Amino acid sequence: MAQNLRQQISENIIDVLKDINDPKPVLVTREPFNVTELAITQFPAILVTPTTEDRETITMGQGGVGRRMGTITYTVRGYVRGNDLDKKRSDLIEEIEEALDSDRYRELIASGVIDSQITLIEVIERMPPLAEFSIEYQVRYNYLRGST
């Protein structure tokens, strides 16, 4: 159950970020890439990766069945290229924040997502014509362990 929910959460985040309009990201993926090898036409680019997952038991039941709580932390890395990099970077950060905050349940409340939020935004220094940032995004969920 939890693994399927993790997949659903990741897919939802990717879908939501693909729908950003201004600036419209060209590349949104979970697959790592070398940003210096991207074509100019592939910017803005976004990479979403799960980085950590914390778990705790909420209730214990017989036979190993019990309710568990999990928090997945995702890193959302954004890349822009060209002139006016600070503005482009800031605009993309703002759009990502608005897109992710539009539904804090990731359309998965029935599946157990109980909250999500951006917890950190970090600007990463790069030489022009590239600019980069990293957003830490946490999704909290609960599920029934031991159910089939």
The domain containing residue 110 runs over which residues?
2-145
Question: DSSP readout, 23-77?
Answer: T--SEEESS---GGGS-GGG-SEEEEEEEEEEEEES---GGG-EEEEEEEEEEEE
Query: Where residue 10 sits, what CATH number does that domain have?
Result: 3.30.70.1700
Q: Give residue 148's pLDDT.
A: 37
Number of domains in the chain: 1
78-137 tens-digit pLDDT: 999 999 999 999 999 999 999 999 998 888 877 889 999 999 999 999 999 999 999 999
Whether residue 23 has pLDDT greater than 90: yes
Of 33, 22, 40, 39, which Cα lies nearest the Cα of 96?
A: 22
Of the CA atoms within 13 Å of residue 47, those in its CB half-sphere come to 14
Task: Enter the pTM of the model.
Answer: 0.90
